[in-house]
Amino acid sequence: MKVSPEIVSLIPYKPGKPISETQREYGLTKVIKLASNENPLGPSPKAIAAIKNLLQQLHRYPDPTAYDLLQTLSKKWNFPVQQLGLGNGSDELIDILVRIYCEPGDGVLTSQSAFSAYEISAQANRAKVHIVPYTSDYKFDLKAMGDYFFAHPEAKIRLIFIANPNNPTGTYAPRAEVEAFLSRLGNREDVLIVFDEAYNEFVRAKDYANADEFIRKYKNVIALRTFSKIFGLAGLRLGGMVAPPEVIEIFNRVRKPFNVNDLAQVAAVAALQDSEFIAASQQIVWKGLDYFYEKLQKMGLPYIESQGNFVMFDTLRDAAQVNEALLRKGIIMRPIKNYGFATHLRLSVGLEEENLAAMTALEEVLKTIPQAK
């Protein structure tokens, strides 16, 4: 059976190396995983309690309408239920948006070194990906993206993905740049602008604005959010979307009826109301980032100040060699050569003792591997 060239040439997403695999491969008993931007505190205790209370009901199908979760989200995010959608992780939301709005050959526009799910979903759905180079400081060049859109009407760009903040760089688009971009492309009938805000709860930059105000102002703006990061529910796979009502109406026709399981629904309701856990998750990340900055500076390693729960830094060496040496010491970081960074690693914030172990191991490893010429 013939398979389309888009599928044959598709490079799948490569997740962070699991702890169990690292233990088997290197004969280790203790491994510290700081590769996948997970919450080091684990899930909210309230979410765990909610899951335990539901375990006896696992023989029942989930609520296909996710009524309780959508009602809770409506109050927390201050949008009507008619503007909210849920997916099996934000990856599913991305994929369904491409399926709905892109015919084969239509265009999806994003930035160099943006989250790879945009490109994978586009290619899998026979859409063409258009990439605009990032700025000299690794940020989305929104002006250049707007210029590209208007300069290439033949590309039939239907979706524009803006990761704000971006993974793996940790950079963000300031409010003024977003406003200027939307003044050109907002309210158009032929393109949807999707802000992927998986890390927005960790942002400390004063000139950042999430998409809420822009969704209210422009009829073609969408925001994606996740429960994998600050809420610590990565294993349950849950993403949320704020969009115009007509987008949500079509989305709910296309998604599978039980795409969000009951455990995810009840855990998310509980986690959304656990303000102490949310604040603790923010504080551990901010403290961890500041510690990383201090240690990386002392080691002479360039890094990008991050608005996520991770930092991307330059090892000044072949990152694959550095990563291999770290794995042998039981430290899992994230090589990001697939994003175009051959000497960089991405490091997630962990618990204080995990951060200390990672920096200690990195310092030791760097002494054994010469700098790239």
Span 123-141, pLDDT tens digits: 999 999 999 999 999 999 9
The mean pLDDT of 158-172, rounded to a whole number, is 97
The mean pLDDT of 90-103, rounded to a whole number, is 96
Tokens 């109406």, residue located: 249
Tell me which of 240, 273, 306 is where a domain ends.
Answer: 273
* pLDDT for 150 beyond 80: yes
Binning pLDDT at 50, 70 and 90, where does residue 21 land? Answer: confident
| Helix 89-101 / helix 245-254 crossing angle, nearest 10 deg | 100
Q: Tell me which residue range forms the domain holding 137.
A: 45-273
265 and 312 in a single domain? The answer is: no
* pLDDT for 176 beyond 90: yes
Please give the distance of CA 98 from its chain centroid, rounded to a whole number.
Answer: 17
* pLDDT for 2 beyond 80: no
Give the whole-angstrom CA distance, residue 160 versus residue 261. 29
In a domain, 372, yes or no: no
Q: What is the pLDDT of residues 41-50, one digit of tens each?
A: 999 999 999 9
What pLDDT score does 64 carry? 95
Find the CATH number of the domain harbouring 97.
3.40.640.10
Picking from 244, 196, 195, the residue whose alpha carbon sits closest to that of residue 219 is: 244
* pLDDT for 4 beyond 80: no
In a domain, 373, yes or no: no
**Three-class secondary structure of residue 310 per DSSP:** strand
Strands (E), the chain: 32-33, 84-87, 107-111, 128-132, 157-163, 192-196, 221-226, 239-242, 310-314, 331-332, 334-335, 344-348
18 and 86 in a single domain? The answer is: no
Please give the distance of CA 189 from its chain centroid, rounded to a whole number.
Answer: 27
Tell me which of 224, 254, 273 is where a domain ends.
Answer: 273
CA quadruple 22, 26, 27, 30: dihedral positive or negative?
negative
Tell me which of 273, 296, 312 is where a domain ends.
Answer: 273
The mean pLDDT of 271-296, rounded to a whole number, is 97
Q: What is the pTM of this model?
A: 0.94
